[in-house]
Amino acid sequence: MIKLIAFFSAIVLLSNCANSSLSTSPKMSLSDLGARYWQGTYYLSVTEQTFSIQCKVNPEYKTVDDVPVTYKGLGIGELFDSGDDLRKIQDLKQQCFDKSVL
């Protein structure tokens, strides 16, 4: 019985450690190299990552706010929080929107 309690305690402890390391991970940052355009998609590199954030040109966008930006195919949510990065994301969306309405 004591071994079973110790086993479950260890699982809870490891789970808590894993969750705390995920929640305290630093936010990502965006490259200063500017956006690239290729085959209907704008890309902006994420510093020290192999993936980029991206937005696809789509003539159905009505406003800049309609332009989704993704990272690894998912929404970027709260991945970036510096004012400089948020400005880069807004610039990327604007480029994508401008190309969409041409």
* pTM summary value: 0.72
pLDDT at 17: 47
Q: Is 29 within a domain?
A: no
pLDDT at 75: 93
pLDDT at 100: 95
Number of domains in the chain: 1
Q: Is 46 within a domain?
A: yes
Q: Where are the beta strands (DSSP E) in the chain?
A: 36-38, 41-45, 52-56, 70-71, 74-75
Give whole-number Cα distances, 90 to 20, 43, 53, 64, 85, in Å.
Answer: 31, 13, 12, 8, 9
pLDDT at 15: 52
Q: Is 83 within a domain?
A: yes
* pLDDT tens sequence for the chain (102 residues): 665 454 445 454 445 544 444 444 578 999 999 999 999 999 999 999 999 999 999 999 999 999 999 999 999 988 998 899 999 999 999 999 999 998
pLDDT at 45: 96
Range of the structural domain that residue 58 is part of: 36-100
β partners of residue 46: 30
Quote the longest CA-to-CA distance of the chain.
71
d(CA 62, CA 74): 21
